[in-house]
């Protein structure tokens, strides 16, 4: 009986990881679609926590963080790498921090704010720090979970890690000082987010059905 309960608990934890990415993505797409002055190709996902109904994106960050934290526990218990599980746990903490601390206005959103801020608030700086740590840890996790494993999964994980890092860097530059990347910054970030969440969702589903 105890073995059955443990196995069921592990399945629930891993299932949380399967759900995290699709829920996070669906939520920010829906919230962004309803914002009249929000430009998804230009503005970061984090900016949805500002302005009307900003609580929805805050809840989205925290929910995704909690679901990812559950996944990290499941991976720790049954997954192929405890180091990888720890990295996913740090990713989860990063999401939670990004939800607790709201970003500063960026690229003219919300309307009436400058395109670039000269001084960041403490909350905005902490949001950026937690986000940076989260993205970094997820990129490293892609490589950690690549080995040892099947060749197909290993190649996919390595490619995912490279592409995730390669899109995260210009996305950060787009929201900072690089004017040439300003207009497509939101698109670049969404590409990175999609790559990262897709890999994490497939990792959770693959471990769940192993």
Are 89 and 32 a contacting pair, CB within 8 Å? Answer: no
Structure tokens at 121: 């608030």
Are 161 and 169 a contacting pair, CB within 8 Å? Answer: no
Q: What is the mean pLDDT of the chain?
A: 92
Q: How far is CA 5 from the centre of its chain?
A: 30
Taking only the tens of pLDDT, the chain with its 210 residues reads 567 667 888 999 999 999 999 999 999 999 999 898 999 999 999 999 998 889 999 999 999 999 999 999 999 999 889 999 999 999 999 999 999 999 999 888 888 887 777 778 999 999 999 999 999 999 999 999 998 778 999 999 999 999 999 999 988 887 876 677 778 889 999 999 999 999 999 999 999 987
Kindly report, residue by residue over 153-166, the tens digit of the pLDDT.
999 999 999 999 99
Per domain, the residue ranges of the chain are 2-208
Nearest of 159, 146, 156, 6 to residue 80 by alpha carbon: 146
């Amino acid at each position: 009986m105890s073995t059955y309960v443990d196995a069921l608990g592990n399945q629930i934890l891993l299932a949380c990881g399967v759900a995290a990415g699709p829920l996070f993505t669906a939520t920010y797409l829906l919230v962004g679609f309803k914002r009249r002055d929000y430009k998804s190709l230009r503005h970061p996902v984090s900016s949805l926590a500002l302005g009307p109904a900003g609580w929805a994106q805050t809840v989205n960050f925290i929910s995704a963080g909690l679901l990812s934290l559950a996944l990290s526990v499941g991976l720790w218990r049954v997954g192929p790498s405890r180091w990888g599980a720890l990295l996913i746990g740090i990713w989860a903490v990063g999401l939670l921090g990004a939800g607790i601390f709201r970003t500063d206005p960026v690229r003219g959103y919300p309307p009436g704010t400058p395109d670039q801020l000269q001084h960041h608030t403490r909350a905005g700086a902490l949001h950026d720090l937690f986000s940076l740590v989260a993205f970094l840890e997820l990129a490293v996790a892609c490589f950690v979970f690549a080995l040892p494993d099947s060749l197909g999964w290993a190649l996919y994980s390595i490619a995912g890690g490279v592409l995730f890092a390669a899109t995260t860097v210009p996305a950060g530059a787009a929201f900072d000082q690089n004017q040439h990347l300003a207009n497509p910054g939101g698109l670049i970030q969404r590409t990175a987010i999609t790559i990262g969440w897709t890999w994490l969702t497939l990792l959770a589903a693959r471990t769940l059905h192993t």
